[in-house]
Structure 1
Amino acid sequence: MALKANPIWGYAKTPHFHVGLPDLGPRPCGFALDFRGLNKWECSCVGVLAQTPQRAITPVEDEKPSHDMESSGAIQRPFDMESTGFHKDMNLLPIAEPLSSTELSSSSCDGSKVRVAYQGIPGAYSESAARKAYPKCETVPCEQFEAAFKAVELWLVEKAVLPIENSVGGSINRNYDLLLRHRLHIVGEVQLVVNHCLLGLPGVRKEELKRVLSHPQALAQCEMTLSMLGIARVNADDTAGAAQLVSASGERDTGAVASAEAAKIYGLDILAEKIQDDDDNITRFLILAREPIIAGTDRPYKTSIVFTLEEGPGMLFKALAVFALRDINLTKIESRPQRKRPLRVVDDSNKGSAKYFDYLFYIDFEASMAEGRAQHALGHLQEFAGFLRVLGCYPMDTIS
């Protein structure tokens, strides 16, 4: 039988792992692409699911959609003023009618008919990433990451562009958690070169600055330059918000670390460019949509998955081996403790029980779901994965 490819795929389990698999071809359970209807992915598990009694699989706690807006723990603002530019009320977002398959296919490649949500306010690096992906799109600012996810789910926008990792600062863990909680698909990625600029009010010289505002990560990435200037650092919610605050405050001894675009929007002068300590500062963004795209083999593709493993020696090695056996390159491995069940108790001796973190594993690998080797690798992985979900298969961004 064929199972429709809902955002979460669960499987019955088979008990053994065979390291020396010579076939690398069809496994008892494999993945297939179906191009009927709206061309959604389907998972064909004829062998195992037809012959093996299915057992109930406990859903991963974090996969459950959240119906309330959680606070992101915003940093205290250095000025007593209300930030503008956010869509705090979801009802204020522009209303998007559901798109038909005809409308989706007729959208121009420059994104002129696409509304894209991002976290931040105009001038944020996330907005720049959205415009890199869709040069003529309509960008929709959201105050929190989760608001951007919900804007897509509620048909208020077609896409969301959200950061997932930075070459200096590492992974954005909050968005990994939200990927599992919400039923969206990764349909693309954007790699954006970060150019931090020192901004000030018109006519101010950088030597006049006594303090500078920005996001904590941006300040940390410019540590050497700011230390040389002897400028005090003040945390703000985000880089573009810092530029907005400096512009509104009118305080000539206060600057901001933000993008050149933010300087243009908020009427600030660029006092210095490329002040980051590492020139190779790149942020990778994910493009999210309600529907997956049709995977192909016409260009390099990447697939993102998340799974859990049962307790046992070498289980992670076995999971990674299914890709190595098929010459599939892994580009990202991230582990996150399960939020609702962070600890697993294992009775491994008669002297007591051991407690281990119960992890979710996120993996990106270079292969398309249209390739047999990717289908067989995931079919193999599901034999010992307690939970497996394909987050998306999408073209790689090979140009920064």
Structure 2
Amino acid sequence: MASFSACSPLELPHKFSLKVAYQGVPGAYSELAARTACPGCFTLPCRTLSGAVLAVESGEADRAVLPVESTMDGTALRNYDLLLRHDVRVAREITLFVRYCLLAMPGVRKAGLRRVMSHPVALAHCGRALDRLGVDREPVEDTAGAVRLLSTRRMFDAAAIASARAGEIYGLDVIDEGVQDEAWNTTRFLIVSRDGEVGVGARAPKKTSMVVAHAGDNAMVMLRRVLSAFASRGVNLTKLEVVGGDGGVVVRKGRRLRAFARVMVVDFEGSVEEEENVREAVKEVEGSAAFVRVLGCYASDRTVYNLE
């Protein structure tokens, strides 16, 4: 049986190009995030998010793009889980305005649609529009992959939800745009590398991401301790969310894996390496938590980049 490569470059990159791995095919929102964050980079499409992270860990890629939260869904725990299982660091953040388009073969009208395909998250984000259409919903691995499938198979009774750029790449028409349930729809991506922050000027405001886990079920006690550690030292938190999944959260400590029922995802202003008050706050949290992992320090970027 032929082996399947987790990441499939479409062409050989220039030897000096920065290689950025992402989940999906050209036209995916993660690819757009990669090109926005790293202009002129060579993008490396991967079948899965774990494949993109492994590409960085193995040295096949220099960076990987991970969507970690959206205004409609909150934090994507599964993607933070990859940061806890693999030896990579956050190097940058980027937030994109996501405008979903309904794409179909040339000549197709909405009245003739019987089904709509896309990534499960995109289908959920556009639920009201799909209800009005009265169509079946078919989940696929990524948004742009749905567009490519329609184009390859020349499906005239189906549409895909994806970016306008995906339609341009695969020759589909935009038959509706802005079909997401909430007009203001943004997704935050983290750019990860083997070594962490890259290209950050000395004057750029810093931001740090970390994950905190505690033993037992009393999350409120740990929450108060985290808040106190940072507030008493004047460190501003930009994100604090308690998240958990049905199977718990698995983290790597050295060569061992450990599971926790839930973890706290914490973002805060400042740098552990450069600012003593930040370093002391993290040290205090480490003294009472069962597990603390600083995911990376990077330049804070509050800009919302528009895909179109």
Indicate the TM-score class for this superposition, using the shorter chain for normalisation: 0.7 to 0.9
- Measure the CA separation in 2 of the matches of 1:392 and 1:319: 18
- Deviations, residues 330-385 of structure 1 (Å, cap 9, x unaligned): 2222433344665xxxxxxxxxxxxxx64333211122232222112112222222
Q: Is 1:89 aligned to residue 1 of structure 2?
A: no
Q: Is 1:202 aligned to residue 106 of structure 2?
A: yes
CA contact 1:186–1:393 (8 Å) conserved in 2: yes
Instruction: Tell me which of 156, 178, 192 is aligned to 1:288.
Output: 192
Q: Which runs of 5+ in 2 are unaligned?
A: 251-256
Report sequence identity in percent. Answer: 44
CA contact 1:198–1:270 (8 Å) conserved in 2: yes
- Deviations, residues 189-228 of structure 1 (Å, cap 9, x unaligned): 1101111001010111222212111112111211222222
Quote the residue 1:321 is aligned against: 228
TM-score normalised by structure 1 residue count: 0.66
Instruction: Tell me which of 257, 271, 282 is aligned to 1:368.
Output: 271
Instruction: Tell me which of 128, 136, 155 is aligned to 2:32.
Output: 128
TM-score normalised by structure 2 residue count: 0.85
Quote the residue 1:251 is aligned against: 155
CA contact 1:120–1:144 (8 Å) conserved in 2: yes
Cα distance change, pair 315–204 in 1 and its aligned pair in 2 (3 A): closer
CA contact 1:95–1:157 (8 Å) conserved in 2: no
Q: Which runs of 5+ in 1 are unaligned?
A: 1-86, 100-111, 343-356
Paired residues for 1:292-371 under 5 Å: 292-293=196-197, 298-311=203-216, 314-332=221-239, 333-336=241-244, 337-339=248-250, 342=259, 358-369=261-272, 370-371=274-275
Cα distance change, pair 210–220 in 1 and its aligned pair in 2 (3 A): same
- Local SS of the residue matching 1:203: coil
CA contact 1:121–1:240 (8 Å) conserved in 2: yes
| Count of matched residue pairs | 287
The structure that is strand-richer by fraction is 2
Q: How far has the Cα of 1:169 moved from its partner?
A: 2.1
Q: How far has the Cα of 1:310 moved from its partner?
A: 4.6
- Measure the CA separation in 1 of the matches of 2:212 and 2:60: 30
Paired residues for 1:146-185 under 5 Å: 146-185=50-89
CA contact 1:368–1:374 (8 Å) conserved in 2: yes
Q: Is 1:221 aligned to residue 129 of structure 2?
A: no
Quote the residue 1:60 is aligned against: none
Cα distance change, pair 364–144 in 1 and its aligned pair in 2 (3 A): same
CA contact 1:193–1:282 (8 Å) conserved in 2: yes
CA contact 2:69–2:75 (8 Å) conserved in 1: yes
- Local SS of the residue matching 1:382: helix
Provide the alpha-carbon RMSD of the alignment: 2.5
Runs of 4 or more, structure 1, over 6 Å off, are none
- Measure the CA separation in 2 of the matches of 1:373 and 1:260: 46
CA contact 1:299–1:395 (8 Å) conserved in 2: yes
- Local SS of the residue matching 1:139: strand
Q: How far has the Cα of 1:288 moved from its partner?
A: 0.4
CA contact 1:116–1:139 (8 Å) conserved in 2: yes
Amino acid in the other structure paired with 1:284 = R
Instruction: Tell me which of 32, 36, 49 is aligned to 1:145.
Output: 49
